[in-house]
Amino acid sequence: METDKKKFEATNEEIDKAVQKAYKAFLLYRNLSGNLKVNFLEAIAAGIEKARTSLLKTAMQETFLAEARLNGEINRTINQIKLFSELLQKSNWVNAIIDTALPERTPLPKPDIRQMQKAFGAVAVFGASNFPFAFSTAGGDTIAALAAGCTVVYKAHPAHPALSEMVADIIVEAAQKTNMPDGIFSMIQASTVEPATYLIQHPLIKAVAFTGSFKAGKAIYDAAAKREEPIPVYAEMGSTNPVFILPEISEQKSSDIAKALAASNLLSAGQFCTNPGIIISDKSGADNFQKVFSESIIAAAGDSMLSDSIFNSYQHNIKKVSDFNEVSITGKGIQSEKQNAATPYMFNIPAKTFIEKKELHEEIFGPASLHITAGNKDELMKIAESLAGQLTITIWGTENDILNHADLINYLELKAGRIIINGVPTGVEVTHAMMHGGPYPATTDNKFTSVGTTSIYRFTRPVCYQNFADKFLPDELKNDNAINILRMVNGGYTKNKI
C-alpha cells in the first residue's frame, strides 16, 4: 500500500532516467561558450525575480522563516547567479597555463603543453533545509556546477518540497528558453536513505555537493568512497564556530561584544552553519559578558524551527548538555506557543570539562551557546587545541591582545577555514575571497569552499593539451588570446598573445 510519504519518493528508475539525461546533456553543455551559459544563468535569475511573491509565500509556509529574512535570501540567490555570470564573462577563471615548445632543446625537444580547468561531469546536489533559496534548488551549489559546465541532478530537501518544485520549474523553463540541452537540470524528491544512496552511487554521477548535518554528510561521504569509482564529496556539515574573547577587550567591551554575539546566536532561531555556538572568554570581563549575554537570551522568545526533525534534534541536544553534572544553565529564553519553537539556551561549562568531554564539542543546531571562562593564556591554548575542525573561528581582541596572542591566532588557522577578527561569524559574504569550508568535521574536503566564486573549482578538473595545432585548441588556450584573459605563459602572467 502506498503511503503519502512514499508518493514523494523518487524511484530508482526515475533517478536513473534523470542521471542518464544529465550525462547526455553534459556531453553537449560542457562545450558551450561562456556566453551561452550566462544566458541560461541569467534566465534563472530573471525567473526567480518574476516569481518572487509566490516563492516567498510558499517559503514562509514551508520553513517558518520570516519574510524579511527570506526576501533577503532571494536577493542573495539572485546576486550569486549574477556573480557567476560575471565570472563566466571574464573567462579568467579557467586558470589557463601555457608552456610553449622548445624544439631545439637537447637531449629531447620540449613539446607545447597547455592546461585549463574543464567541467567535471554530471553531478548530484543535495539541498539544505536552512537556506530554502541560497543553498537549495537554484542555490550556490547548483549555480556553481552549472557555471562550471556540469549538469545537475538535484535532491530537494524534504523540509520545503513545494518551494523546491517551483524553483526547479523556473530552472527547467530557463533552460528551455535559452536552448539548453534537455536534462541539464533535474530534481528528485526523497526523504529516505535509499534513493539518496542510489543517486550518490550512480556510475554516471561524478561529484556530490551537500549542505546539512554531520550525520547525513558523513553517510554521503561513505557511500561515495565505497563506489567502484570513488568520487569527490563536498559536504558542508556545520560547525560550532568558536569565539575567543581576549583579556584586554574582554575587560573593555564585554557588554558590546555580548550583545553582538547574542544577536548573531539568535538569528533565524540559530539555524545557521556559522552560528556562534561556543564562546570562550578571558576571565577579565567574563562575568559581565555572561550577564549581558544572558539578558539577551532571557529576553528572547523561541522561534519556530525549520522542521519537526530539526526541532526534535534541538530538544535532544539541549537535554544532553543540560544533563551534564558540570554544566549550568545561565540563560533560558521565553517559551513560545509557536509550532516547533526553539527556546534559546545559554550554558556555562568549566574549561576543564569542555576540554575533556568531546560530546560538548558537537554542534547544537539552534539558538544555544556554550560559555567557557579561560583562566589564562595557557588555558586559551588548551581549549584551542581541544577543538575539532570548524568553518569559522572568531577572535575579539585589541591590538595588544592580538600581539600578545599571536601564537594562539596562528594556531587557530589550523582549525578553521575562516578567521574573523572583532566580528560575528554569521553573514557569509558571497564574494571571491570567501572560504566557507574548513577542516573535518566541518567539511569533508577543506580544500574547497561552498560559497563564493572559487566554489566553481569543486566542479572542474585540469585538462592538458600537448602538441595541439593552434586551431584545435580551446579559445582560452589559443595563441591570439582573442578573448583577452589572463594566462600563465612560461611561468609569468600575461594577457599578451603568443
For the question of residue 464 being annotated catalytic, the response is no
Evaluate whether 289 touches 257 at the Cβ level (below 8 Å): yes
Cα dihedral: 465, 469, 472, 475 (round 10): 80
Residue 220 carries which side chain, given as an amino acid letter? I
Of 393, 264, 367, residue with least CA distance to 314: 367
For 5, phi then psi, to 5°, come to: -60, -45
Q: Encode burial over 461-474: b for 16+ CB neighbours within 10 A, e otherwise.
A: eeeeeeeeeeeebb
Give the active site residue among 248, 251, 273, 476. Answer: 273
Which residue's entry shows cell 577578527?
421
Selected from 411, 475, 479, 498, the binder of its own copies by CB under 8 A is 411
Q: Which stretch binds its own copies (CB under 8 A): 48-56, 110-118, 276-284, 324-332?
A: 110-118
Q: Residues 425 to 454: which contact its own copies by CB under 8 A?
A: 427, 429, 431-435, 437, 440-441, 444-447, 449, 454
Selected from 36, 216, 486, 498, the binder of its own copies by CB under 8 A is 486
Query: Does residue 256 belong to the site contacting its own copies (CB under 8 A)?
Result: no
Q: Which is nearer to its own copies, 121 or 302 (CB)?
A: 121
Contact predicate 302/318, CB 8 Å: no
Q: Which residue number, 44 or 83, has a Cβ lying nearer to its own copies?
A: 83
Q: How far is the CB of 409 from its own copies (least distance, A)?
A: 8
**Span interacting with its own copies, options 111-119, 192-200, 244-252, 323-331, rule CB under 8 A:** 111-119
Least separation, in Å, of the C-beta of 165 and its own copies?
Answer: 30
Shortest reach from residue 347's CB to its own copies, in Å: 26
- Out of 79, 465, 479, 498, point to the residue binding its own copies (CB under 8 A): 465
- Calpha distance 427→301 (Å, rounded): 22
Residue with cell 543546531: 365
Q: Does 417 bind its own copies (CB under 8 A)?
A: yes
Find the binding residues for its own copies in span 133-172 (CB under 8 A): none
In angstroms, what is the minimal distance from the CB of 449 to its own copies?
Answer: 7
Residues 370-399 interacting with its own copies (rule: CB under 8 A): 389, 399
Instruction: Kindly state the cell numbers that stand for 202.
Output: 550512480
Nearest distance from C-beta of residue 463 to its own copies, angstroms:
5
Asked if residues 151 and 23 have their Cβ atoms less than 8 Å apart, the reply is yes
User: Per CB under 8 A, which of residues 12..51 are in contact with its own copies?
Assistant: 27, 31
- Closest contact distance (angstroms) between CB of 88 and its own copies is 13
Residue 493 contacts its own copies per CB under 8 A? yes
Q: According to CB under 8 A, which residues from 209 to 238 bind its own copies? A: 221-222, 225, 229-230, 232
Structural element, H or E, at residue 428: none
- Interface stretch with its own copies, choices 35-43, 303-311, 315-323, 420-428 (CB under 8 A): 420-428
- What does the block give as the cell for 445? 574536503
The helix-helix angle for 214-225 and 193-200 (nearest 10°) equals: 40
Do 196 and 34 contact (CB within 8 A), yes or no?
no
356 part of the interface to its own copies, by CB under 8 A: no
Nearer to its own copies, 482 or 493 (CB): 493
Stretch that binds its own copies, among 131-139, 191-199, 290-298, 486-494 (CB under 8 A): 486-494
Contact 448, 440 (CB under 8 A): no
Residue closer to its own copies by CB (options 79, 353) is: 79
Helix (H), strand (E) at residue 8: none
The Cα–Cα gap between 59 and 163 comes to 6
CB of 62 to its own copies, least distance (A): 24
Question: Interface residues for its own copies in 45-104 (CB under 8 A)?
Answer: 72, 86, 90, 92, 97-99
Cα atoms in the 13 Å half-sphere on the side-chain side of 452: 14
Give min distance, CB of 142 to its own copies, in A.
20
Catalytic residue among 73, 236, 248, 476: 236
| Cα–Cα separations (whole angstroms), residue 422 to 246, 337, 418 | 10, 36, 13
Backbone angles phi, psi at 44, to 5 degrees: -65, -50
Q: Where are the strands (E) in 237-384, listed by range? A: 243-245, 278-282, 303-304, 328-332, 341-342, 345-349, 368-374
Binding range to its own copies, per CB under 8 A, among 153-161, 192-200, 369-377, 421-429: 421-429
Q: Catalytic positions, please?
A: 236, 273
